[in-house]
Structures are given as structure tokens and as C-alpha cells.
């Protein structure tokens, strides 16, 4: 087993395919495949499961990856300390539902990294894909919410994929609307107040289950409904069409401007936001630093943490 082989495994996981990893490593695809097969033969496990659709980490491979990342990270520290080499390229990947506070924390992570080289990834994506990303270790951390409606389904899916949910905070439901919306002057709203306004939500693709919705009350009928795929489009439509969406109430003026506001929604429900990770691996230093920044941002908004 060599350090180079460990780096090969990590790069394949980061890229999601052997072909793409070989390109980034500037080696041939057969050479990379053979190096990984030799490693698997030496340690007696299958790191990757191979099929016509591509490769995925095996259960044993997920555990192996955790150790490999630690070894490579420690080797980088040794090189910096004793060989006077420049700091190693920092890596971190996060998958999240469409939360501005998750982006704020990511910005702070990068600003505070001080690294000469880094390759960070932030995926604002669909609920099911967040779970898939973390299960397959494309991302170390996923950020999503649970409430009484979706909790049993989400928890079952996390258990099946050996993922743990760590609560961050619990929020009362709010609507996000334009500051020019007539409802912006109200101290709170009820569902009946919203009937004539377009309802905006994030589409969930082929896994378009009520339980995977990013918005609570996903089974409520709306006379006017618009599905979008990104946060910028959603906020533009909130302003252009006087629409609304339902979320945590945490609005970032830095990212969304000062023309979006939140108003409490009077419903008997709660939104518990947390992060998920595989319990088979230890988080990297950068992932742990991201969580620290995430908690700071949440507290800066005046929201008490659950941990």
C-alpha cells in the first residue's frame, strides 16, 4: 500500500469516476484502474463497486476512505513541517438545501482558510441528492431539515445509508416575500392570507415526493404554484410576481439584498435544520471548520443552537 494509491482512491471519489480522476491525475485510465485493483487485492476488500452505470464506494470502501483521508492529510502536514513544502491543496465538499446561511458559512470558511491552493465545492441541490452525495462521499456534509411530517421517512433513509443527523437549530415557519408585497407590513400571516399569491418551491426532480420537499406543508393545495431549481430565480420571482415561499425566517441581506423580508407564518409546525454525515468516517479538518463557521453564522442571526 502506497501513499500514491491512497491519493488515487480519494481523487476517484472526488471526481465520481475513474475516467475523470485519471484526467486530473494526468495518468491513463487503465493505469489508474490497475493501481486501485492492486490495492484492493493487497488489502483484501473491494473499495469500489463497479457496474454499467459507473462506480460507487462499497461499505468497506467508505470506511477505508476515512482512514485514507487521515493518512494523506497527516502526510501533507509532515511534508510542510519537515520538507518545507508549500501547504497541500485543501479540499472540502458540502451539499445543502437552498439556505443562505449555509452559503454565508462557506464564504467565511474560504476567507479564513489562508490556503494558497484549495478546491472547495458547494452544491445547492435536491433533498434526495444531498443524501446520495453524503452516502457516496461526494460531499462530507449535507444540510437539510426535518419536521414531524417528513421525519420518519428521512430518518429511515438515513439509517439505511449509515448516515447520522445532527440537529443545529429549530425555527418557526416564516414566509419569504418582497418588501413591496402588501403582506410585508403584517406582524404575521395565516395560510388564508396567501391564497391569491403565487407559491414558490424548489422542484425535486424524479424524486418529487412530498417527503423530500424543502418546504413544510408540502401537501397543502395552492391555486398558483411555481417550481424553480435555484435560489436566485426564486428570489427574483418573489419580487417580480409578489410570490412567497416558506422557510426558516433567516434572510441574508448580504446575499439576497434588502428587498426580501420574512414574516412569521401561524401554523402548528416546526423546522429542525441539521447536518448529516456518514458515521463510518471522520470529518476532515476543513469540514469541521465549516461546521464551526455554520454555527457562528446561525448564532449571528440570533438563533439558538441545539448542540
Q: Compute the average pLDDT of residues 260-279.
A: 94
Domain end point (choices 44, 67, 88): 88
Instruction: Give the global pTM.
Output: 0.75
Same domain? For 176 and 83 the reply is: no
In sequence order, the 6+-apart residues with CB closer than 8 A to the CB of 53 are none
Q: Compute the average pLDDT of residues 273-292.
A: 90
Give the pLDDT of residue 255.
60
Contacts 24+ apart (CB under 8 A), 234-238: 234/98, 234/200, 234/202, 235/176, 235/260, 237/198, 237/200, 238/176, 238/177, 238/178, 238/200
Q: Compute the average pLDDT of residues 10-36.
A: 90
Phi and psi, residue 265, nearest 5°: -105, 125
**Has residue 155 been placed in a domain?**
no
**CATH assignment at residue 62:** 1.10.10.10
Q: Compute the average pLDDT of residues 140-154.
A: 95
Please, are residues 229 and 213 in contact by the beta-carbon 8 Å criterion? no
In sequence order, the 6+-apart residues with CB closer than 8 A to the CB of 111 are none
Q: Which range is least confidently modeled, 50-54, 97-101, 228-232? A: 50-54
Q: Where are the alpha helices (DSSP H) in 18-126?
A: 18-25, 29-43, 59-82, 100-113
CA–CA distance, 154 with 87 (Å, rounded to integer):
39
Q: What is the pLDDT of residues 55-78, one digit of tens each?
A: 888 888 888 988 888 888 888 777
- Number of separate domains in the chain: 2
Containing structural domain, residue 227: 170-272
DSSP letter, residue 22: H
**CATH assignment at residue 201:** 3.40.190.10
DSSP letter, residue 146: E
Q: Could you give the percent of the chain with pLDDT greater than 90?
A: 64
Q: What is the pLDDT of residues 204-236, one digit of tens each?
A: 988 788 999 999 999 999 999 999 999 889 999
Give the pLDDT of residue 90.
62
Q: Compute the average pLDDT of residues 157-163.
A: 93
Q: With 90 as the cut, is the pLDDT of residue 118 above it? A: no
Amino acid at each position: 500500500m502506497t501513499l500514491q494509491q491512497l491519493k488515487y482512491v480519494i481523487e476517484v471519489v472526488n471526481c465520481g469516476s475513474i475516467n475523470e480522476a485519471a484526467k486530473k491525475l494526468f495518468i491513463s485510465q487503465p493505469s489508474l484502474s490497475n493501481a486501485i485493483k492492486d490495492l484492493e487485492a493487497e488489502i483484501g476488500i473491494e473499495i469500489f463497486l463497479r457496474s454499467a452505470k459507473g462506480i460507487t464506494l462499497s461499505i468497506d470502501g467508505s470506511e477505508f476512505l476515512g482512514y485514507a483521508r487521515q493518512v494523506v492529510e497527516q502526510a501533507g502536514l509532515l511534508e510542510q513541517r519537515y520538507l518545507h513544502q508549500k501547504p497541500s491543496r485543501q479540499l472540502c465538499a458540502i451539499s445543502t438545501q437552498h439556505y443562505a446561511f449555509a452559503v454565508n458559512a462557506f464564504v467565511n470558511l474560504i476567507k479564513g482558510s489562508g490556503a494558497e491552493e484549495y478546491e472547495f465545492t458547494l452544491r445547492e441541490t435536491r433533498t434526495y441528492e444531498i443524501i446520495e452525495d453524503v452516502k457516496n462521499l461526494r460531499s462530507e456534509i449535507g444540510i437539510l431539515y426535518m419536521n414531524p411530517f417528513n421525519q420518519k421517512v428521512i430518518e429511515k433513509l438515513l439509517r439505511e445509508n449509515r448516515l447520522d443527523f445532527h440537529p443545529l437549530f429549530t425555527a418557526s415557519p416564516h414566509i419569504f416575500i418582497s418588501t413591496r408585497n402588501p403582506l410585508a407590513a403584517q406582524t404575521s400571516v395565516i395560510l388564508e392570507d396567501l391564497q391569491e399569491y403565487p407559491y414558490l418551491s424548489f422542484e425535486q426532480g424524479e424524486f418529487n415526493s412530498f417527503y423530500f420537499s424543502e418546504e413544510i406543508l408540502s401537501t397543502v393545495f395552492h391555486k398558483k404554484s411555481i417550481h424553480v431549481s435555484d435560489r436566485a430565480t426564486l428570489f427574483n420571482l418573489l419580487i417580480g410576481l409578489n410570490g412567497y415561499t416558506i422557510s426558516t425566517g433567516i434572510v441574508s441581506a448580504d446575499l439576497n439584498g434588502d428587498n426580501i423580508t420574512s414574516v412569521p407564518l401561524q401554523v402548528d409546525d416546526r423546522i429542525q435544520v441539521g447536518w448529516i454525515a456518514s458515521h463510518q468516517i471522520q470529518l476532515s479538518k476543513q469540514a469541521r471548520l465549516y461546521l464551526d463557521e455554520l454555527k457562528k453564522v446561525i448564532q449571528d442571526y440570533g438563533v439558538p443552537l441545539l448542540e
